[in-house]
């Protein structure tokens, strides 16, 4: 009989942790600089954007939905923030615009899915194009630069030796862990994704929670876009291109199921870290771009297989 332990934190995650450790060992062995503290912190900074957005995606996926527009939202929010900052020089105002755009994107996605009853795949596929289109029109395809140097603190700054974006990412992970695993909200997300009918008949507010999931996704995407803009000290409509794929990869690699109901914060963190380590390690080794793609794809398949076997 298979028992679900009280601590349902590290089930299939052990397999992921194993893979992560193995990868780190291999890269440390092959590259002199991989395992230096500075590089490890570098990796955490590099994955922070993907990881933050992945948290938003996790909420949506737990409900049995999907959000393909995360990259586009990040780009639009970044543009909005940069334009506001450049025009007014006011950081609070820029942050307000960031917040408004993020919430707007999430709300529209959520409303069309929940109330328009259109499959989220279609809604967010369309919004993926539309939102990026809006960003392109807004900027006429040109980068928005000339932002105050101090603004780079968020994406490129440090507190002590730890990158600021890492700290922010850690904070958001802790909040997500708390909400998704320790409160009823996480239970509701999972219930809705695992059995919609039973959830309805158990008096769980389905519409409300799906809306919340999409709004969280929009918010996280916005934060990701904000950090990107800060890091580059400029915003481009083409920023974060392909981000949705990286985010989905992290979430799925981390053990979430696209049909809903299954997924953990720790798994997502490990998934993002594995991909981040692979990217960084290959760069450290100077592996050509041609090979990097093949290696990355292969490692991901192997990781999924290992994780699945560990589950049994």
> In the range 161-220, which residues lie near another protein by CB under 8 A?
178-179, 182-185, 187-188, 191, 194-195, 197-198, 200-205
Instruction: State how far the alpha carbon of 184 is from the alpha carbons of 15, 177, 179, 189, 202, in Å.
Output: 27, 12, 8, 9, 14
Q: How many CA atoms lie within 13 Å of 10's alpha carbon, on the beta-carbon side?
A: 6
Choice from 92, 160, 161, 290 touching another protein (CB under 8 A): 290
Specify the stretch interacting with another protein by CB under 8 A; choose among 36-44, 58-66, 93-101, 264-272. Answer: 36-44
Alpha-carbon span 45 to 41, nearest angstrom: 6
Q: Which is nearer to another protein, 187 or 302 (CB)?
A: 187
Which listed range, 10-18, 50-58, 110-118, 169-177, lies at the site for another protein (CB under 8 A)? Answer: 110-118
Q: What does the CA dihedral 157, 162, 166, 168 come to, rounded to 10 degrees? A: -70
CB of 38 or CB of 92, closer to another protein = 38
Report the residue number, 92 or 290, with the smaller CB distance to another protein.
290
Q: Which of residues 123-152 bind another protein (CB under 8 A)?
A: 123, 125-127, 129-130, 132-134, 136-137, 140-143, 145-146, 152
Which part of the chain contacts another protein (CB under 8 A), choosing from 17-25, 82-90, 167-175, 285-293?
A: 285-293
Nearest to 105 by CA among 80, 83, 76, 133: 76
Nearer Cβ to another protein, position 93 or 293? 293
The 228-257 contact track toward another protein, x by CB under 8 A, reads: x--xxxx-xxxxx-----------------
Within 10 A of 204 (CB to CB), how many other CB atoms are there? Answer: 17
Helical pair 37-62 and 243-253, crossing angle rounded to 10 deg: 90
Using CB under 8 A as the binding rule, the residues of this chain from 49 to 108 that contact another protein are none
Q: Collapsing DSSP states into helix, strand and coil, what is residue 30?
A: helix
Which one-letter DSSP state was computed for residue 145? -
DSSP state of 49: H
Burial of 274 by CB count in 10 Å (0-12 exposed, 13-18 middle, 19+ buried)? buried
Q: Residue 46 or residue 73: which is nearer to another protein going by CB? A: 46
Q: How many residues bind another protein (CB under 8 A)?
A: 81
Least separation in angstroms between residue 95's CB and another protein is 20
Three-state secondary structure call for residue 159: strand
Nearer to another protein, 132 or 307 (CB): 132
10 Å CB burial of residue 301 (0-12, 13-18, 19+) is exposed
Is residue 6 a contact residue for another protein (CB under 8 A)? yes
* Contact pick of 12, 15, 261, 267 for another protein (by CB under 8 A): 261
Q: Which is nearer to another protein, 18 or 241 (CB)?
A: 241
Distance, in Å, from the CA atom of 309 to the CA atom of 15, rounded to the nearest integer, reads 8
Radius of gyration of the chain measured on its C-alpha atoms: 19
């Amino acid at each position: 009989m298979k028992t679900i332990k009280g601590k349902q934190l590290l089930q299939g995650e052990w397999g992921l942790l194993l893979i992560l450790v193995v990868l780190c060992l291999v890269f440390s062995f092959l590259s002199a600089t991989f395992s230096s503290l500075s590089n490890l912190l570098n990796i955490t900074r590099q994955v922070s954007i993907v990881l933050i957005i992945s948290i938003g995606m996790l909420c949506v996926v737990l409900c049995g939905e999907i959000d393909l527009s995360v990259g586009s939202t990040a780009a639009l929010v970044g543009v909005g923030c940069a334009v506001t900052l450049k025009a007014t020089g006011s950081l609070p105002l820029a942050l307000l615009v960031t917040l408004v755009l993020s919430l707007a994107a999430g709300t529209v996605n959520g409303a069309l899915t929940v109330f328009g009853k259109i499959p989220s795949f279609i809604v967010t596929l369309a919004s993926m194009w539309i939102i990026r289109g809006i960003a392109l029109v807004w900027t006429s395809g040109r980068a928005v630069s000339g932002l105050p140097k101090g603004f780079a603190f968020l994406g490129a700054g440090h507190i002590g030796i730890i990158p600021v974006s890492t700290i922010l990412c850690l904070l958001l992970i802790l909040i997500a862990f708390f909400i998704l695993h320790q409160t009823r909200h996480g239970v509701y997300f999972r219930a809705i994704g695992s059995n919609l009918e039973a959830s309805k008949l158990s008096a769980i507010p389905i519409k409300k929670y799906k809306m919340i999931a999409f709004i969280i996704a929009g918010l996280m995407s916005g934060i990701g876009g904000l950090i990107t803009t800060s890091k580059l000290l400029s915003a481009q409509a083409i920023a974060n291109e392909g981000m949705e794929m990286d985010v989905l990869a992290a979430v799925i690699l981390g053990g979430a199921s696209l049909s809903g109901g299954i997924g953990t914060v720790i798994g997502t963190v490990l998934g993002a870290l594995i991909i981040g380590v692979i990217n960084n390690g290959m760069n450290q080794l100077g592996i050509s771009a041609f090979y990097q793609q093949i290696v990355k794809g292969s490692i991901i398949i192997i990781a999924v297989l290992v994780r699945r076997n560990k589950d049994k």
